[in-house]
């Protein structure tokens, strides 16, 4: 699949036609066991292939969690490469969940691994961490712009430990999370000026905002109006439901891409059951966002 337009435009079209849903590919040991598979490379490959065959032609986004492939070494990474390529060939956008974050040439190397079209791990988008300073992401931002890829930047995560950094209030009265969202709004504004003109497509620089936490931003001077997508984990196992999204995300709910893993994957390895679970959640999200 060649990239001919910015990620945000492709994501908007996928959300509008396939439904606003991201399904994680998280082959951790307990889920492999639940599927009757071994905790080995063969089980990893069977699991990943089944998810791709079941969902890549119908959901908007598939999100492999890199760590569950990396733990098997080079053979696991080879499975990840095939998973990414097969999913993209089938029409899904692929978001690599690797949460990379570093500085200088190291960040540039991470970006090249996932955002350079010549890389065997080239994806439509990548999750990144800005907590070495938002400017540390500059190499990834530059390459994403050049390749038509996207980034999802950790902003307000649902893990309890995240609050000590993300909820910290700066001298200007804004939380760190709110500051990151402000940076993303600036990046999407620049993209609109340089790439999208006055079009209505989403920006390519999104934020990760827990589906249980978005409404806490207002108290710290934040806004979810970043002109970009909002990846929202927390549906299902963490307690949020699609019906909660409008209250949490307000006017930005139409740009929310809920991320669900176990809520869909627990229905495997039956292909029809995986498809039915994904379709039901996507429909519930679509209905809630109207």
pLDDT digits (tens, 9 = 90+) for 137-178: 999 999 999 999 999 999 999 888 998 999 999 999 899 999
C-alpha span between 128 and 204 (Å, rounded): 13
Two tokens, residue 285: 């999200």
Catalytic, out of 63, 99, 193, 290: 99
The ranges assigned to domains in the chain are: 7-289
Is 99 among the catalytic positions? yes
- Does position 198 have pLDDT exceeding 80, yes or no? no
Backbone angles phi, psi at 116, to 5 degrees: -90, 120
> Residue 171: exposed, middle, or buried by beta-carbon count in 10 A (0-12, 13-18, 19+)?
exposed
At 10, the pLDDT band (50, 70, 90 cuts) reads very high
Please give the model's pTM, rounded to 2 decimal places. Answer: 0.95
- Does position 184 have pLDDT exceeding 60, yes or no? yes
What CATH superfamily classification does 7-289 receive? Answer: Aldolase class I (3.20.20.70)
More confident residue, 83 or 249: 83
């Amino acid at each position: 699949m060649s990239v001919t337009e910015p990620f945000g435009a492709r994501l908007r079209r996928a959300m509008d036609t396939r439904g606003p849903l991201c399904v994680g590919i998280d082959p951790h040991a307990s889920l492999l066991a639940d599927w009757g598979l071994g905790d080995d490379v063969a089980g990893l490959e069977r699991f990943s292939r089944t998810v791709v065959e079941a969902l890549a032609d119908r959901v908007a986004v598939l999100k492999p969690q890199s760590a569950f492939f990396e733990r098997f070494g080079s053979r696991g990474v080879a499975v990840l490469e095939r998973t990414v390529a097969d999913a993209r060939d089938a029409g899904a956008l692929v978001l690599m969940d690797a949460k990379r974050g570093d500085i200088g040439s190291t960040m540039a190397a991470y970006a090249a691994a996932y955002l350079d079209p010549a890389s065997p791990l080239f994806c439509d988008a990548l999750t990144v961490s800005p907590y070495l300073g938002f400017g540390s992401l500059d190499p990834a931002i530059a390459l994403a712009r050049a390749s038509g890829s996207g980034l999802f930047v950790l902003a307000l995560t649902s893990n309890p430990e995240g609050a000590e950094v993300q909820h910290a209030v700066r001298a200007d009265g804004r939380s760190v999370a709110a500051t990151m969202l402000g940076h993303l709004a600036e990046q999407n504004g620049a993209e609109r000026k340089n790439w999208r003109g006055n079009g209505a497509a989403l920006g390519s620089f999104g934020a990760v905002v827990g589906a249980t936490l978005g409404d806490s931003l207002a108290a710290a001077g934040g806004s979810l109006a970043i002109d970009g997508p909002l990846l929202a984990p927390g549906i299902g196992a963490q307690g949020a439901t699609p019906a909660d999204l409008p209250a949490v995300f307000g006017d930005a709910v139409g740009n929310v891409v809920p991320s669900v893993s176990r809520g869909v994957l627990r229905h495997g390895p039956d292909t029809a059951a995986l498809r039915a679970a994904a379709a039901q959640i996507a429909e519930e999200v679509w209905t809630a966002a109207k």
